[in-house]
Chains A and B, each alone.
Chain A
Amino acid sequence: MSIVILRITALLYAVGAAGYVAYFARPRHREAATFGFWVLTAGFVLHAAAIGVGCAEFGGREFFTVRGGIALLVWLIVGAYLLLHRLYRLPALGAFVTPFALVLLVPALFATLDHPEVAPEMVRSPVLAVHVLSAMLGLALFGIACGVGFMYLLQEREVKGKRFGALFSRLPSLDVLDRLGQRLVRLGFVVFTVALVAGSVIASTVWKTPFDPQQVVFIAVWALYGLMVQLRHSGWHGRRYAVLTLVGFFIVITSMVSLKVVPGITRHAGNYGAPSPTEVRQ
């Protein structure tokens, strides 16, 4: 059931993205962006319903699969974008973030939910909910930062290459993009840190064995973005910083997907490497 709702959601996102792209192509038609915003909002609400129904269907274990994980990530990206739009009023950003979110959602629409084991006790733990949500929100913010970085590189090419074409007039100024990207990275890092703390609390109580690959990747991503926050303070910005946000998110996505695709590589999928629920209770 939840997958049907999710597919309708994807359809709404596609229509919303089309609105934003139409606005970007013809900036005179501001109403296209407004239309995009409302359709996207409707999609966001429906997406929430899909996630809720999914929770009822699978009891939370879907968040540890490609489908549920990506669906949650895209939901947070869209939500963060809608919030950003209220704050910054940059409809041009929508033309980049919404198609990106849509493409990201595609694997979730067709992936099966083959999950052998359930860890009901852990899934219902509030600390785990905090961990999953904040980790995903952090990634969502990094994802939008990546979109903003991409816009920066496009605009920089126009400004520096003296093209002054359609992109030049439609994209926001370099300064706006640069500062927005930096804020997103900083905020994402803070949220991601929360996820790290929550994650280590869970890991130390449930797992006695050393790190598994997903934990290593998680810490590496956290360190990478932490480094980016630090680099900003030591004067990194502009082009170099935009490239960093792109590279960072590329690493995030590839490692996330490869961890999910290779069977049994991490305790975060499959059997969680956890003792049986009865053992936990002892």
Chain B
Amino acid sequence: MSGRELFLVGLSHRSAPIEVRERVALTGDALKDALVQLKGQEGVGEALVVSTCNRVEVYVHAESEDAARAFFTSRSEEAGAHVYVERGVEAVRHLFRVSSSLDSMVVGEQQILGQVKEAYGLASAAQAAGAYVSRLCNRAFATAKRIRTETDIGRGATSMSQVAVELVEKIFGGLEGRAILLLGAGKMGALSAKALAVLGADRILVTNRSPDRGLALATQVGGLFRTFEELPRLLVESDVVIVSTGAPSYVLTGEMVHVAMKARRSRSLCLIDLAVPRNVDPACADFPEVFAYDVDDLEKVVESTQEARRGEAIRAEGIVEAEVMAFARERESRAALPVLSQLRRHAEAIARAEAERTLGHLGAKLDEKGKRSVEAMAQAIVNKLLHGPTARLKEAAASGDGTLPGAAADLFGIEDEAPGEAPAAGDGGQPEDGRAAVASERGQLEAGRARGP
């Protein structure tokens, strides 16, 4: 095999400030060009660039990390001081951890897997990703999928607006046919109202003491502006009220909610108070069918999610470790493939020649069926004879024993096929074994998928 291995040079939110990250981050065509350029460099076989707002990582299957390092230093002098470099198994593990969202700012977030998939898609399109990167990425995706289905790392809400969405969902199911009222022009309120849009509310009503800001907010969130004087009626009309005004005291009092609930004939009402100091009188929560939450309640959920995810992350690391080992073993057993395929080709050539010789003698006496039987018999003998050695060679390679393949080559008089040129053949040159390996990988991917919900 060649001296190529996987190198990673990268920087992330852990190693570099945003000013550095934004200077090296790339998207779209610029990223494609960079991939083509990387691939074109001396000693680089394949390349993959993961570029998100939190990280820029360059993976190369190459003889050294120089090209990947140059990617950063050519873009920003300063970046060189912030990059981290990994090689071999460490680099594989890093990619698996990144794809599984174990290295993310919010552990367990779902976007990163999509971003790595996109990066792989781009690398394929730019023809920078070959057989090695494909296998690496597929394994990384399978690992991420496994972690998502086997652990609870993706469970729970990690932001206040997400908590609000979960709460509202548990009270109302969906929001079809219902209205959201945005009371006050706070930024958090607008964010939450937008997040709640996934539940399919019929309309968003906006009210604010100052009509100007209220109107602006209404256009921003795609809602209807109503004057502040209409508030009592709005409380009857809407089902979810998000309150975030800058008022120093209660904007919604127990009395107002009491009146509204009477008019609502006790239809459930959800009050989410995002303001500090609070804008909703805690007494409102005492009415049946009124569900009231303040910032502290939502924060507590976010915290408990993070706590739970930390625990799940430990289990996820175990899965990553197992997958990294499996990937490494698979690579090693692949190293025995050149000898194996040569052995097989050698044996098949003999079988074919002998079958032809026999048919030459008997040709006239045999019909089509008979000829086919002779050929099949020769092939069957080859298969049976090679079955044991094939299995043992694969085992030996998987356990890191390099002597057996050499001994086999000697024993069967197979000439070494210039090992320096082997990688092209090793990765694509053996149609049968190569395909079998890819198929087995696909099988694992699908097994991972089958475990999903």
Contact = CB atoms under 8 A, between A and B. Distances in A.
Contact of A238 (B170, B266, B285): B266
A175 B288 contact: no
A174 B267 CA distance: 12
A162 B173 contact: no
B266 A237 contact: yes
Contacts of A236: 266
Interface string B255-268: 00000000001111
Given A28-B453, A159-B171, A238-B289, A174 B297 contact: no
B304 A174 contact: no
Given A238-B268, A239-B288, A240-B288, A30 B453 contact: yes
Given A174-B171, A176-B173, A159 B291 contact: yes
A176 B171 CA distance: 9
Contact of B285 (A30, A160, A168, A237): A160
B85 interface: no
Nearest to B150: A28
Contact of B171 (A28, A169, A173, A235): A173
B150 to A, nearest CB: 8
Contacts of B453: 28, 30
Interface in A147-203: 155, 158-160, 162, 164, 168-169, 171-176
A239 B290 CA distance: 11
For A159, A168, A176, the residue with the greatest tally of chain B CB atoms inside 10 Å of its CB is A159
B288 A173 contact: no
B293 A162 contact: yes
B204 to A, nearest CB: 19
B289 A175 contact: no
Contacts of B300: 162
B289 A239 contact: yes
B167 interface: yes
A159 B167 contact: yes
Nearest to B163: A164
B172 interface: yes
Nearest to B293: A162
A198 B84 CA distance: 83
A169 to B, nearest CB: 7
Contacts of A162: 293, 297, 300
Given A28-B149, A175-B268, A159 B288 contact: no
B170 A235 contact: no
B173 A173 contact: yes
A134 to B, nearest CB: 31
Contacts, number: 50
A141 to B, nearest CB: 22
B288 to A, nearest CB: 5
Contacts of B155: 169
B113 interface: no
Interface in B146-177: 149-150, 152, 155, 166-167, 169-173
A211 B265 CA distance: 39
A88 to B, nearest CB: 12
B170 A174 contact: yes
Interface in B401-453: 453
A175 B170 CA distance: 8
Contacts of A169: 155
Interface in B115-170: 149-150, 152, 155, 166-167, 169-170
Contacts of B301: 164
Contacts of A160: 285, 291
Contact of B304 (A30, A159, A164): A164
Interface string A21-59: 000000010100000000000000000000000000000
B265 A174 contact: no
For B167, B266, B267, B453, the residue with the greatest tally of chain A CB atoms inside 10 Å of its CB is B266
B170 A159 contact: yes
A51 B268 CA distance: 44
Interface in B345-361: none
A88 B453 CA distance: 18
Interface string B268-297: 100000000000000001001101010001
B167 A173 contact: no
Contacts of B173: 172-173, 175-176
A219 B152 CA distance: 51
A173 B178 CA distance: 15
A104 B92 CA distance: 57
Nearest to A176: B173
Nearest to A164: B301
A160 B286 CA distance: 10
A97 to B, nearest CB: 20
B172 A175 contact: yes
Contacts of A172: 173
Given A28-B453, A173-B173, A235 B265 contact: yes
Contacts of A176: 173
13 contacts: A28-B150, A172-B173, A173-B169, A174-B172, A175-B172, A235-B265, A235-B266, A236-B266, A237-B267, A237-B289, A238-B266, A238-B288, A239-B289
Given A164-B304, A238-B288, 17 more contacts: A28-B150, A30-B453, A158-B170, A159-B167, A159-B291, A160-B285, A160-B291, A168-B170, A173-B169, A174-B171, A174-B172, A175-B172, A236-B266, A237-B267, A237-B289, A238-B266, A238-B289
Interface of A: 28, 30, 155, 158-160, 162, 164, 168-169, 171-176, 235-240
When A and B form their complex, which 5 residue pairs have the shortest distance between CB atoms, in order from nearest?
A: A235-B265, A173-B173, A175-B173, A238-B289, A175-B172
